[in-house]
Amino acid sequence: MSDTYRAAMRLTLAILSATALLASGCSETEGLLPFNSEYSRRTQGRDDASVRPYGEVRAPKGASTIRLKATSVVGSPDSRAVIETDPEGASVIWEGGDVIRVQFLKDGVFYYGNLVTEEGGTSTAEFTTEDDILGGTDYIFFTPCYKKFRETNYLTGKRIFGLEVPAAQTAVPDGVMAGSNLAFARSDSFEDGMSINFTNLPALLRFSLAGDIASDVKEVILRTTSVIAGDVLIYDADGYPDFHPGRIKDVDTTYSSITLSGDFETGKEYHIALWPRELSFFEMEFSDGVGHGNGHSTTLRSSQKTTLGRSVVTDIGPIDLGDSFMGSGAISTAPVKYMSATEGTKPVSVAVVPDGFTLAELPLYESLAKSALDFLFDTEPYKTYKNRFNAWILKVASNQSGAGVTDGNGNVVTPVNNYFGTKWGANSYGDMRADDNKVFNFVTANCPDIKSNIHTIDEVPVIIIVNDSRYAGRAWFWSSGKSYCMCPWFHNGGSTYWSHPVIVPDSESDPEGGWHYPTEADLDSWGRSYGDWRNAVIHEFGHSFGRLLDEYWGKKPNTAYENERATLKSLQSWQVPCGLNVSSSYSNTPWDEFLDKRDELIGHDTRYSKIGVFQGGYTYLFGMWRSEMVSGMQDNRQYFNAWSRYLIAKRIMTLSGDLSLFNFNYWLERDVTIDPLRDDPETRSDLDRSGRYYYIYPHDPEEFLPPDAPVGIVDDSPVPPGI
């Protein structure tokens, strides 16, 4: 890596802030959701004019041409094929044929119209339309056009639009590809001839190329561990645009990489448009052959945290590629000690391993592993006991990227030559598994804490990060304490949420007491768990390390009978007990000590009032009980209930050799009760954390229910479980 590039990648940046504009063509039908089947069902047999159409309707033609003066102001960022810069900022040049889509509300109906400019060449242009867009309210302007529209959310009063930053972009010297840098504007009303200023939604990453081979470059790929391109939801947040990668009907594709293709010239500036992000890792691959893996390439990386702001041009300066392509450079496969214990008789050890990452992708894996560990150890009780842990990031390369696809019954239909043989079904993950022996043999041979006889493989939980974008997650654990969990970075690191229970019991004590659908009070008390693949790590590690069982149930009112109760009792009697967070009895639970001391606990902290006996858990609605209404073992939130925190803390103290110090009072003095979803005002908002507003994410509410299949449990205890 040259000194020039090394300096550039330190990202000591000159930042141009701006609000600019990029326009692109828009067809008559793009973005239109006409009177569809849902609307037809709602209005069948009715001629009530007050029934508002589902979606939006094209505004009728007016009697005259209506004008709009749209401006890209100096002091705003970039866009378009031409960007003009000066010491104060940047502005965008309009082109003839650019289109602005406007949507507004009139007489209870959402109408849209298109405005077009005939002349370009300046940062201010006049747009005209024959659509009657006068006399409405709540005008929202987009350019380019949005892909989809979701009518007003009835809980938040906000409109939701689906847009896309393309993952494949064309290199434009000293500019940006048309259609890649979207812009937004809003007005309460509209008058003929009015002026309006746009604000850009994406961020721009700017660079130039130097060196003898710069002119040979045909493709630049930007990769990171966050969603930076693809479909996104835009909200009108009180006149200020906000966004969230997500799904709106068939708008469901996100990307953690962007490919910029074209003929690159030495000294010219190029821009990549991407969704605003704080990046802890990114790399750029420069290739002389279009198509990943073709031709010669050089990959350069930055592991420094970088903030790419909305409507901000981030300039990383010239990148000197030298006189030849140098490949990916030397990539180490040595273990990385990411966390070091400073407390305890001995460290508690955790090992992270990759599957489906090629040698060139191991730096990406390492960044994902660090992110997962950071998130896990920002979750209680791991956060409180963090100083007792050694965390090892182990590395091994796979011959192919990804994971195998099965028929759902373990039979491989699409093989992938990855190292640990991770595979699962195309439409489910009940059969998700790796090669157990290969996992444990590799960790035994490569984890320094096992090699130095601090721990055995039975005492070192393994997290397998899988290079796959499918939603999944599963844990396998043994009675001896041995375990591993598997977590792909699903949705390319993008976000999701986990559904509330579809049905709930009428009675907390009676398995025959009936059930009902959740009420508004239920929704308010639970909150909505929103996050990404790292939330699945918390849940799966809760299985493998915490020895916790699921606290959710399915869509049907199923009941746990004698066989299921006997199975649970067997697991709870294992050499390293499993499933003590759930109970097969309402009147005799593993957390009776907490129930007996409930008044003392509430006197210490009122949040302990959540503790009780609640029916539903271990995938059954009836006949199984849990200790709090909601926890991370139910919906993957960054919170474990009090009894689970106690169990995890006890296991930590056991493995650190200090169980003799541990008792109820030791735990209580250190326990942190806050559920960030419900209790921490700094992490709640009407857009991403509040359960009240979960509908802002327009997923099918059943789409991300946990799987019907429980975690993998393997009995290797010397004494038969007795079932």
Place of tokens 């990307």: 255
Residue pair 488/466 in contact by the 8 Å Cβ criterion: yes
Quote the pLDDT of residue 572.
96
**CATH class of the region 336-714:** alpha beta
Is residue 370 a contact partner of residue 395, using CB atoms and an 8 Å limit? no
Residue 421 above 70 pLDDT?
A: yes
Give the Cα separation of 232 and 239 in Å (integer): 18
Place of tokens 């031709």: 295
User: Poorest-confidence range of 62-66, 331-335, 346-350, 560-564?
Assistant: 62-66
For the four alpha carbons of 260, 264, 266 and 270, in that order, the dihedral sign comes to: negative
Task: Provide the pLDDT confidence category of residue 124 given band limits of 50, 70 and 90.
Answer: confident
Position 689 pLDDT exceeds 70: no
Q: Hey, CA dihedral for 85, 89, 94, 98, is it positive or negative?
A: positive
Supply the pLDDT for residue 278: 85
Between CA 283 and CA 137 the distance in angstroms is 45
Cβ–Cβ < 8 Å for 423, 432: yes
Among 68, 254, 99, residue whose Cα is nearest residue 182 = 99
Among 638, 643, 635, which Cα is nearest to 501's? Answer: 635
The most confident of the ranges 175-189, 444-458, 497-511 is: 444-458
3-state secondary structure of 254: strand
- Predicted confidence (pLDDT) at residue 76 exceeds the cutoff of 60: no
Q: What is the mean pLDDT of residues 246-251?
A: 42
The predicted structure's pLDDT at residue 471: 87
**CA 120, CA 178: separation in Å to the nearest integer?**
14
Q: For position 293, what pLDDT does the model report?
A: 53
What is the DSSP code string of 248-282? Answer: BTTB--EESEEEEES---TT-EEEEEE--EEES-E
The C-alpha atoms of residue 127 and residue 139 are separated, in whole angstroms, by: 16
* pTM assigned to the model: 0.80
Burial group, residue 605, by CB count within 10 angstroms (0-12, 13-18, 19+): middle
Q: Predicted confidence band at 244 (pLDDT cuts at 50, 70, 90)?
A: low
Query: In the predicted model, is pLDDT for residue 208 greater than 60?
Result: yes
Comparing 71 with 399, the larger pLDDT belongs to: 399
**Are the C-beta atoms of residues 447 and 353 closer than 8 Å to each other?**
no
Query: Strands of 168-170's sheet, edge to edge?
Result: 168-170, 257-261, 219-224, 282-287, 297-302
Beta strands in 513-619 (DSSP E): 515-516, 529-531, 582-583, 614-617
- The least confident of 92-96, 130-134, 507-511, 670-674 is 92-96
Distance from C-alpha of 643 to C-alpha of 252, rounded to nearest angstrom: 37
H helix and E strand count, the chain: 13, 44
Residue type, 718: P
- Of the candidate ranges 141-145, 475-479, 609-613, 615-619, the one whose mean pLDDT is the lowest: 141-145
**For 528-544, what is the mean pLDDT?**
90
Span 206-211, average pLDDT: 92
* Pairwise CA distance, residues 179 & 239, whole Å: 23
**Do residues 172 and 81 touch, judged by C-beta distance below 8 A?**
yes
In the chain, CATH 3.40.390.10 sits at 336-714
In degrees, rounded to 5, the angle at the alpha carbon of residue 277 between the alpha carbons of residues 154 and 356 is: 105
CA distance 141 to 239: 11
Q: State the amino acid at position 655 in one-letter form.
A: L
Three-state SS string over 670-685 comes to HCCCCCCCCCCHHHCC
Residue 107, both tokens: 């007489």
* Proportion of the chain in helix, strand, coil states, percent, rounded to 5: 20, 30, 50
Q: Are strands 109-116 and 57-58 parallel, antiparallel or unpaired?
A: parallel
Lowest mean pLDDT segment, chosen from 238-247, 431-440, 450-459 = 238-247
Average pLDDT over residues 140-160: 72
- Please give the torsion angle defined by the CA atoms of residues 308, 312, 314 and 315, in that order, rounded to the nearest 10 degrees: 170
Q: Is residue 161 a contact partner of residue 146, using CB atoms and an 8 Å limit?
A: yes
**Is residue 265 a contact partner of residue 276, using CB atoms and an 8 Å limit?**
no
569-604 b/e with 16+ CB inside 10 Å = b? bbbbebebebbbbbbbebeebbbeebeebeeebeee
- Asked if 470 contacts 488 with a C-beta cutoff of 8 angstroms, the reply is yes
Written as six digits, the tokens of 128 are 């005209």
With tokens 């009530």, the residue in question is: 48
